[in-house]
Amino acid sequence: MDAVAVPVEERLFSLVLALLASEQGLGKAEILSTVQGYRQRYVLGGDNASLDRQFERDKDDIRELGIPLETIDAPDRPGDSQSARYRIPRALYELPADVTFSAAENALLGLAAAVWRDGSLSEDSRRAITKLRSLGIETDDAVIGYAPRLRVREAAFGPLKLALDKHQRVSFLYLKPGQKKPLLRTVDPYALVVHEGRWHLSGFDKRARAPRTFLLSRIVGPVKPLPGATFDAPPADAAEQSLAALQRVWQGNVAVLGIVAGSDAELRLQKRSGFSHTDSGDYELHFTDLDILADELASFGPEVLVHAPADLRSAVRARLLQVSALHGAGDQNDGSHA
């Protein structure tokens, strides 16, 4: 009868629990013959070479998750992996004794792990779930049942996150507004951040020889890792630096708008951060990307009048003229209300 496949997360979780439970450590044969995920395929007295290799990979994965897995060599056979024993010291792994969680906090921790169950943050998700389970933290199944499913719409996110974790250079086609064709960019990815509800990649652009920030929604086609092309780890605060830079751009860009009272535009825009009234009766709205805002404002049609800046006004007007032309309005509406 064929062995039932065991998910990798369950196998790693079972291995962590087994190594935590043994103060003296476990030998490889003990692990492969008894731990969930290995024992189903273990052949007593037979060829277990593939299972042995899987265990070696799993050891690396566990250590990458930040779990202190120790190897204890046999005194008379140093360096022999077949006679070595493995363990996870509780003192180095468990939370401090004075750190506790309430029932509500436990539920929220479990909920946080469940939110990312689709694997869009694979390393963080695996680390959190493995740690929570092995520490015996229980979650409220009723709460988990209502966990939101966060989906990363941009297909580029997964490959970029993997390349970022491995410090691997990537290439992709990037289409900026106004360009007829996308340009090939070669980038060392430093951080993936969310700003104003959109995912951004910050990294070092090899062609420009300078740091650059890219909107994931403008990446066209697949993200391709470049084999053998790695780079030094970025600064630990790369994400914070990227967000700070985006925030400075947002703070410096201000649109002055006239908005029809009681309109859908007023209802939606007044909920945005950086939205405020002016003494003249108009409104001010901070923004990061002119083209994204132009698309949004144009969608409101005559409910919004752009006073400033001039390039935003021109961008909205161009979009309205294009819509008018597509609908055959042509000369009837020149978009002057923008």
- For residue 286, the model assigns a pLDDT of 96
Does 229 share its domain with 277? no
pLDDT confidence band for 260 (50 / 70 / 90): very high
The answer to whether residue 243 sits within a structural domain is: no
- My answer on whether 37 and 87 are in the same domain is yes
pLDDT digits (tens, 9 = 90+) for 63-117: 877 788 888 887 777 767 677 899 988 777 665 566 666 666 665 555 555 544 4
Instruction: For residues 114 and 165, state if they share a domain.
Output: no
45 lies in the same domain as 25: yes
List, for residues 155-208, the tens digit of each pLDDT value: 898 899 889 988 999 999 999 988 889 999 999 999 998 888 788 999 999 999
Higher-pLDDT residue of 125, 146: 125
Higher per-residue pLDDT: 171 or 42: 171
- Structural domain harbouring 132: 103-144
Confirm whether 120 is domain-assigned: yes
| Highest mean pLDDT pick, 40-44, 141-145, 207-211, 324-328 | 207-211
What's 28's domain CATH number? 1.10.10
Is position 186 within any domain? yes
Confidence of residue 337 (pLDDT cuts 50, 70, 90): low
| Confidence grade of residue 37 (pLDDT, cut at 50, 70, 90) | confident
- Count of structural domains, the chain: 4
Q: Is residue 210 part of a domain?
A: yes
Cβ–Cβ < 8 Å for 211, 205:
yes
Which residues are bridge partners to 165 per DSSP? Answer: none
**Do residues 86 and 107 both lie within one domain?**
no
Q: Are residues 12 and 89 in the same domain?
A: yes
